[in-house]
Amino acid sequence: MRDDPAFVPGRSYEEIREAFRWNIPADYNIARDCCDAWTESDPDRVALIRWQPQGKPEKTTYGELGSLSSRFANGLAGLGAKEGDRVAIILPQSLEAAVAHIAIYKSAMIAVPLARLFAADALEYRLQRAGVSIAITDMDGAAKIASIRENLPDLKHVIVVGEDDAGDVAFDALLSAGKEFTPRDTTPDTPALIIFTSGTTGPPKGALHGHRVVPGHLPGVRAPHEFMPQEGDIAWTPADWAWAGGLLNMLLTCLSMGVPVVYGLNRFDPETALRLMAETGVTNAFIPPTALRLMRGMQNLAGRHDLKLRAIGTGGESLGAETHQWAERELGLRVNEFYGQTECNLVLSCFGAAGVMRAGSMGKPVPGHEVAVIDEQGNVCAPEERGEVAIRRPDPVMFLGYWENEKATREKFRGDWLLTGDQAIVDSDGYFHFVGRDDDIINVSGYRVGPGEIEDCLISHPAVQLAAAVGKPDAVKGEVVKAYVKLAPEAAASAELADEIGKHVKSRLAANIYPREIEFVDEIPLTTTGKVIRRHFRELARQEAAT
């Protein structure tokens, strides 16, 4: 999967699109491609680099990653795990997280990466919904799981990195198993990965991907990263590996291409991030817009840090002209914006090295993907005509469907077009420009949040009778969550109560999606079927942000 004659430096975008052909073997397995093939051909090649604030970076070779993942796969088998079992990974960027992913794919099990930011209630829903039988986590995650374990009948084992007595099994104990493990036979369509994504109504849905998702991502990684892989490339992202952006835009695809991946910064700080990139020689970074905006206030970066960056990709939300100009001025790079979503990721991109660059746009279709803006009848819109971004199937990067939710899967399509819910226009030169969402999704630092889950949590507080959660524009995060709350008759509005309600949500869902602002209102308008009408509150929040 590493050789791609279409992506040759010096070729134009049009030449690459014309030459590109998908070539995914019928017996494809992520672990074999991302690890074992390199273990056999070049075992001393560096796969992972752990940056440390104190001391030299630690390197892990493909040979070591292959041995550790095989041992761990044998350890999982020893616990009775079998093909098709769902295994949750609730860990920071770490060697253990990478080992767990590779071992799960070798075993033909299904990985369920979950953010460490999730509180107990959010974890409980996702673990229940996916029928997770094994969870791999740290001490903090083990404590959350312990508080909800009685509600997880499918969960048989909790494997903990760190202390032996925090869960059922210590991570290191499973590494004592034999080092020989032959990856199970899988096809590109064999289920490999469930990533939960938010919806506008109801709880989050699990997007199920097959093993093909990694080769499906490769063109969308090579484009914004300027013909990756090149000799000496080293990659890094601050994005959590539990998110499609961190896992598929960087970790697994770079391992597939033989590009070392740096980790070790698990709480973003602009100055520390620059130090990490300088000390490890990062050449290619996926940095979400919020992180770039946080870095924007820093001046004279070239003079303070010996950076080796040759390409930066960004996505999840619009970057903005000011940050584009800052990056070009301070970093000497034009940032390549790209676009996708959990169900079908990295399908549009700027590609500066091939002549595709228009600041503020989402770029053009990545070679191998057919993307268009369509109308409500499924017809392709004319240039400058607003419509919905859609991707035509079949497509290797496209999900297999929502986990155990055929109805939602059917509703995601209009004929052979997968609907993104994003409104856009295509200009006369073929560049896609984002206009807005056609639903109520809230985009917090590139993390898409469904208002339904937040509202359900809000009304679980005894003082709340009804609530509406919307996105309020924010200069750094893109949007923050604002909640409009109608109190129960016996409750009295106060700043103290607003703070208490916010903490209630934060403790049950996640630290990044609780309402930063709560406003008490007399009424929450509803549809005739009892659904919250959020349009009015979205407009109020936008007007407030503009003043």
pLDDT band at residue 3 under the 50/70/90 scheme = low
pLDDT of residue 1: 47
pLDDT band at residue 493 under the 50/70/90 scheme = very high
pLDDT of residue 413: 96
Residue 68, domain member (yes or no): yes
pLDDT in tens, 439-492: 677 777 767 776 767 887 888 899 988 888 888 988 778 888 999 998 988 899
Residue 337, domain member (yes or no): no
Count of structural domains within the chain: 2
Is the model's pLDDT at 255 over the cut of 60?
yes
Residue 251, domain member (yes or no): no
170 phi, psi to nearest 5 deg: -85, 140
pLDDT in tens, 411-437: 999 999 999 988 889 999 999 998 766
At which of 157, 184, 211 does a domain end? Answer: 211
At which of 173, 191, 211 does a domain end? Answer: 211
Angle at 42 between CA 37 and CA 43, to 5 degrees: 90
Task: Give the residue-averaged pLDDT of 338-346.
Answer: 95
3-state secondary structure 510-537: ECCCCCCEEEECCCCCECCCCCECCHHH
3-state secondary structure of 266: coil
pLDDT in tens, 138-169: 999 999 999 999 999 999 999 999 865 666 89
Q: Which of 258-267, 431-440, 523-532, 537-546 has the highest mean pLDDT?
A: 258-267
> Angle, nearest 10°, between helix axes 495-508 and 120-130?
30
pLDDT of residue 304: 77
Residue 410, domain member (yes or no): no
Token pair of 474 as six digits: 């924010």
Asked if residue 316 lies in contact with residue 446, where contact means CB atoms within 8 angstroms, the answer is yes
Which residue range(s) make up the domain with 477? 442-546
Is the model's pLDDT at 179 over the cut of 90?
no
d(CA 321, CA 300): 19
pLDDT of residue 529: 41
Residue 200 one-letter amino acid: T
Residue 243, domain member (yes or no): no
Angle at 158 between CA 153 and CA 163, to 5 degrees: 150
In 197-345, alpha helices (H): 213-222, 244-246, 252-257, 270-280, 289-295, 301-304, 321-330
Residue 520, domain member (yes or no): yes
Task: Give the residue-averaged pLDDT of 507-511.
Answer: 81
pLDDT in tens, 402-414: 999 999 999 999 9
pLDDT of residue 528: 43
Lowest mean pLDDT, pick from 318-322, 493-497, 534-538: 318-322
List the CATH number of the domain containing 482.
3.30.300.30
d(CA 529, CA 227): 51
d(CA 62, CA 70): 12
Please state, for a pLDDT cut of 90, what percent of the chain lies above it: 69
Half-sphere exposure of 385 (CA within 13 A, CB side): 10
Residue 88 one-letter amino acid: A
Task: Give the residue-averaged pLDDT of 498-507.
Answer: 91
pLDDT of residue 191: 98
List the CATH number of the domain containing 124.
3.40.50.12780
Residue 71 one-letter amino acid: R
Residue 455, domain member (yes or no): yes
pLDDT of residue 178: 82
pLDDT band at residue 288 under the 50/70/90 scheme = confident
d(CA 156, CA 149): 10
Token pair of 237 as six digits: 């992202």
pLDDT of residue 437: 64
pLDDT of residue 320: 75
pLDDT of residue 446: 67
Mean pLDDT of the chain: 90
pLDDT in tens, 89-109: 999 999 999 999 999 999 999
418 phi, psi to nearest 5 deg: -80, 130
Residue 277, domain member (yes or no): no
At which of 211, 240, 266 does a domain end? Answer: 211
d(CA 226, CA 312): 9
pLDDT of residue 291: 82
pLDDT of residue 488: 86
